[in-house]
Amino acid sequence: SLRQISQRTISTASRRQFENRVPEKQKLFQEDNGIPVHLKGGVMDALLYRVTMGLSVFGTAYVVYELLVASMPKKQK
């Protein structure tokens, strides 16, 4: 019975037809319009890029802060 379930799942998944959108994407990404390739995907690419850069800047600043705190000697009471 397990074999039938797995065969049914595989066979029904292969029946679905998906439209081939690769040529559209190739035209979009190969177009010479001055936009960097990592931003050609649209708004979501720009948002992901900005979030990633923001986290990188924040992380770098935090590491520098922690290094400065660790380099300062603790005051003795």
So what's the pLDDT on residue 15?
58
So what's the pLDDT on residue 75?
83
In this prediction, residue 74 has a pLDDT band, given cuts at 50, 70 and 90, of confident
Scan for tokens 């029904």, then name that residue. Answer: 12
* pLDDT tens, position by position, 46-73: 999 999 999 999 999 999 999 999 999 8
* pLDDT tens, position by position, 7-32: 565 555 555 678 899 999 899 889 99
The domain defined by 34-76 carries CATH number 1.10.275.10: no
Helices (H) and strands (E) in the chain, counts: 3, 0
Q: Which tokens hold the place of 48?
A: 């992901």
48: number of CA atoms within 13 Å, CB side?
Answer: 8
Q: Identify whether the C-beta of residue 45 lies closer than 8 Å to the C-beta of residue 38.
A: yes
pTM equals 0.61
